A and B are shown apart, each in its own frame.
Chain A
Amino acid sequence: MLGRRILQFFLIFALGLFGLMGVKYGLGLSDYVIPGPGEIITTSRAVAHDYFFDTLNTLMVAVIGQAISIFMAFFVGITARKSTWAGTLIKAAAYNIQAYPIVAVAPIIFILLGDGFTSRLLIAAMICYFPLLLSVIGIMAEPVTDMEHFYIATGRMRWQLEVKIRAFENIGKLTTVIAGSSTLAMAGTIVAEFIAANQGIGHSIRIALYQSDLSRILTALFLIGLFLSIYQEILEGVGKRLTSGWILPKGVESEDL
């Protein structure tokens, strides 16, 4: 059975395609501007194999970039949760840096690191990192007073316990933010490939754009959407499993654990 995300993607893509055809036939545009359904299918068949592996390549970079940014966001978010001077400094820096469009820095990264894997990874991680960091800082800096009071009053509070309580209380928010950040990681990778890389689906889109080949671009968009939906479906599934594994369902006795 298709997952919710994948089904939503198919519906939206189909609607978009119908809309495009509506514009083509409504305005009487030529096949050069918007190709007909026959040409789209023929081109898709021709490039599907290459684009499939290009998208896989992009997704792989996005996944690694997202993993790095999740690790970094939690590391910095946990460090910055306290109202110390270091925490305040990190929070202020994070808020200010995230206000700057990271994509604008991408050319510098390509100049310094070349157009290989590292540049794509770095840009994907940076684009994904700051929104994730703001969410993690927001969650980690907010005390769960009703739960933490006992441990503070009795001298049992440790930073690990504090982080565990805050993560536990906001597990739904955290999994949603992580699943949502996958889109940012994918977008970051594609943008990086679009700017200067020599691999990935972004690179293929750039070539198709130079050729004004909308059929190829539509095929690429279909594969990007499909791969991203599957990836988000997996992330949400893992999030649900984590949540249900952590929070005991009603009626479960300790002996059952």
Chain B
Amino acid sequence: MGLTCQHLEYRYPRSEEWVFRDLSFCLDRPGFHSLFGPSGVGKTSLARVIAGEINGFSGTLDRGEINTVLYTYNQERLPGWAPIERHLDRITPEGREDLREHLIEIFGLVPVMGQTFSQLSLGQQNRINLLRYLLQDFQLMIMDESLANVDERSKETILLEIKELFPDRYFLYISHNLIEVARFCDRILLFRGIGKSPQSLTFTGLDTRKTNQPGRDALDAVLLEIMNAG
């Protein structure tokens, strides 16, 4: 069994406002899933609760078979004292050098390996950051806007490759791009905000893969379903 949350409630210390209340959902199988919803509904807070970075919530959070959760977000930076190549070299676990080289190529980062982090564009920075997390041990990775500022074509290549390389892992993809979420994600957890009941709804996305490219009509149907529910 995967990740199960029941009646989760959380508010920041010394705050009267709930970030989320009575939130229940289940991710019962590995795959590429999504947390979707407008800004400020508590997606990042929930992600950090799941990752164990926030405590003090109430309700049940059962991680099941998931032992290692990694949470990555789009504003993370690499130290500037060494080139990217040297940083990646140091954080690559033994035996994953081939995976690193493959990801560098797929992520389109070969030309920037000799540069420092601050010399890269925002999209390149986000790709490098995600890449270093993918090299680590994890059963669930939460990607909080991890591919922001990345062009659509590169994003598609990266997402399809991640799904092919890690079919037995759980991913929770946080994005504000509905088309992207509907196309690539399996389960879509729609956050509707504290004022609505139920606070969240789960939809099934198209889960596009290299070998499975659904048509335009299927995409329209999913988009319509989510937009009507939101």
What residues make up the interface of A, taking CB atoms closer than 8 Å to B? 146-147, 149-150, 153-154, 156, 164-165, 168, 246-248, 250-255, 257
**Contact of B85 with A254 in the complex, beta carbons under 8 Å:** yes
From A146, A248, A252, name the one whose CB has the most chain B CB atoms within 10 angstroms. A248
Cβ 8 A contact of A250, one of B51, B73, B119: B119
**Contacts A147-B78, A149-B76; is A254 near B91 (CB within 8 Å)?**
no
Interface mask (B200-216 → A, CB under 8 Å = 1, otherwise 0): 00000000000000000
Chain A residue at minimum C-beta to C-beta distance from B73:
A149
**Contact of B70 with A248 in the complex, beta carbons under 8 Å:** no
**Contacts A146-B76, A147-B77, A247-B80; is A153 near B114 (CB within 8 Å)?**
no
Q: Which residues of A contact B71 (CB under 8 A)?
A: 153
Distance, CA A147 to CA B129, complexed state (A): 10
**Contact of A254 with B76 in the complex, beta carbons under 8 Å:** no
User: Smallest CB–CB gap between B51 and chain A, Å?
Assistant: 8
**Contact of A150 with B76 in the complex, beta carbons under 8 Å:** yes
User: Smallest CB–CB gap between B89 and chain A, Å?
Assistant: 10
Distance, CA A146 to CA B80, complexed state (A): 13
Q: Does B75 contact A (CB under 8 A)?
A: yes
CB within 8 Å of A: which of B68-97?
70-73, 75-83, 85-86, 91
Q: Which residues of B contact A156 (CB under 8 A)?
A: 91
**Contact of A254 with B86 in the complex, beta carbons under 8 Å:** yes
User: Smallest CB–CB gap between B50 and chain A, Å?
Assistant: 13
Q: Which residues of A contact B45 (CB under 8 A)?
A: none
Cβ 8 A contact of B116, one of A153, A164, A248, A255: A248
User: Smallest CB–CB gap between A83 and chain B, Å?
Assistant: 15
**Contact of A254 with B113 in the complex, beta carbons under 8 Å:** yes
User: Smallest CB–CB gap between A211 and chain B, Å?
Assistant: 55
Chain A residue at minimum C-beta to C-beta distance from B90:
A156
Q: Which residues of B contact A253 (CB under 8 A)?
A: 83, 114-115
Distance, CA A163 to CA B76, complexed state (A): 18
Distance, CA A252 to CA B86, complexed state (A): 14
Q: Does B136 contact A (CB under 8 A)?
A: yes
Q: Which residues of B contact A168 (CB under 8 A)?
A: 79-81
User: Smallest CB–CB gap between A255 and chain B, Å?
Assistant: 7
Q: Does B132 contact A (CB under 8 A)?
A: yes
Q: Does B57 contact A (CB under 8 A)?
A: no
Q: Which residues of A contact B25 (CB under 8 A)?
A: none
CB within 8 Å of A: which of B17-55?
51
